[in-house]
């Protein structure tokens, strides 16, 4: 099965105040993006299904995404949100134990002012509750957050983690050395995967070239291997910079050099394994 490991849904019309992160620069996103909008885009590039990832830091986001997934046969999993730092988070998590489409959780680590938030006591306590339920954790990071994320991973060697958007290196290469060092180091942990996603939205949206990402993709692939790398579109956020097909082509064209089995892992197998997708 070919899968998109990272996309979002939202009903902006009904909940505009929930998307305060959408400044004027994100005007293209201030519309509704729902499964019926994504389905033909996946079909156009031969993708069979997807994983829906939270975009709001509200518990209702988890319920909304689960509802969308239950109504859409191609949505094979949900990465939801709860406040893992809350003292009563274990009780909140217990309410979701009978939701087979719920695959994991994510907090917006890179939006916290403390660059060490990933390894903070409260956050780590919450992350430590996920493993017993079989839930994964998406690490939304930038380069500066990689050291704390590595410390977090080291606390929980059996917990499954995935780095979103290759940890968002600066496209001009100005943070290449710390980014490369951090990616290589975190990849040494076998319980960590990486999403080849979200890269175009870190560039100047009107001025980027697909070949600019090849060295980043090479570095991530060499560090994690095909079995721990997975394609993700970051749709509809990617539409700020390009359309779905062009985002897909950034990874697909780069991957043409890989073996058939490596491409199968990258475009489905790794995602299936990580998110425990069952059809």
- For residues 151, 178, 104, 254, the Cα torsion angle rounded to the nearest 10 degrees is -150
Which domains, and CATH codes, for the chain? 3-275 (3.20.20.140)
pTM of this prediction? Answer: 0.96
Nearest to 141, CA basis, from 104, 115, 172: 115
Question: Distance between CA 43 and CA 33 in Å, rounded?
Answer: 16
Which class for 240: exposed (0-12), middle (13-18), buried (19 or more C-beta within 10 A)?
middle
Q: Which residues of 119-136 are buried (b: 16+ CB within 10 A; e: fewer)?
A: bbeebbbbbebbbeeebb
pLDDT confidence of residue 205: 57
Q: What is the enclosing helix (H) or strand (E) of 234?
A: none
- Mean pLDDT in order along the chain per 10 residues (279 residues): 98 93 88 98 98 96 98 98 97 96 97 96 98 97 98 98 96 94 98 93 68 92 98 96 94 97 98 93
* Residues recorded for the chain: 279
Q: What are phi and psi of 136, to 5 degrees?
A: -90, 175
**Cα 29 from chain centre:** 18
Residue 134, phi-psi category: left (phi > 0), alpha (psi -120 to 50), beta (remainder): left
Other residues' Cβ atoms within 10 Å of the Cβ of residue 82? 22
Question: Distance between CA 144 and CA 168 in Å, rounded?
Answer: 10
Question: Distance between CA 51 and CA 70 in Å, rounded?
Answer: 12
Place of tokens 């490596």: 262
pLDDT confidence of residue 131: 97
pLDDT confidence of residue 156: 98
Q: Is 52 helix (H, G, I), strand (E, B) or coil?
A: strand
The tokens describing 233, both together, are: 């579109």
Asked, as a colleague might, if the bond just before 72 is cis with ω within 30 of 0, I would say no
**Cα 206 from chain centre:** 23
């Amino acid at each position: 099965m070919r899968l998109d490991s990272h996309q979002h849904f939202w009903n902006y019309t009904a909940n505009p105040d929930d998307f305060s992160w959408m400044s004027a620069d994100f005007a293209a996103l201030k519309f509704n993006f729902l499964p019926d909008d994504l389905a033909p885009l996946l079909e156009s590039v031969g993708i069979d299904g997807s994983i829906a990832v939270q975009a709001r830091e509200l518990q209702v986001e988890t319920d909304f995404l689960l509802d969308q997934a239950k109504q859409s046969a191609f949505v094979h999993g949900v990465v939801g949100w709860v406040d893992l730092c809350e003292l009563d988070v274990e009780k909140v998590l217990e309410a979701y134990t009978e939701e087979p489409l719920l695959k994991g959780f994510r907090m917006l680590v890179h939006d916290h002012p403390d660059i060490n938030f990933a390894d903070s006591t409260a956050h780590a306590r919450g992350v430590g509750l996920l493993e017993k339920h079989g839930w994964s954790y998406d690490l939304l990071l930038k380069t500066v957050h990689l050291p704390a994320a590595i410390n977090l991973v080291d606390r929980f060697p059996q917990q499954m983690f995935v780095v979103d958007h290759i940890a968002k290196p600066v496209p001009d290469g100005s943070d290449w050395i710390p980014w490369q060092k951090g990616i290589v180091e975190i990849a040494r942990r076998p319980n960590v995967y990486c999403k080849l996603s979200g890269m175009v939205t870190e560039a100047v949206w009107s001025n980027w070239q697909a070949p600019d990402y090849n060295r980043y993709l090479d570095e991530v692939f060499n560090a994690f291997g095909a079995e721990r790398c997975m394609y993700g579109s970051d749709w509809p956020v990617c539409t700020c910079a390009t359309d779905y097909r062009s985002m897909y082509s950034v990874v697909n064209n780069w991957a043409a050099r890989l073996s058939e089995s490596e491409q199968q892992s990258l475009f489905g197998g790794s995602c299936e394994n990580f998110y425990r997708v069952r059809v």
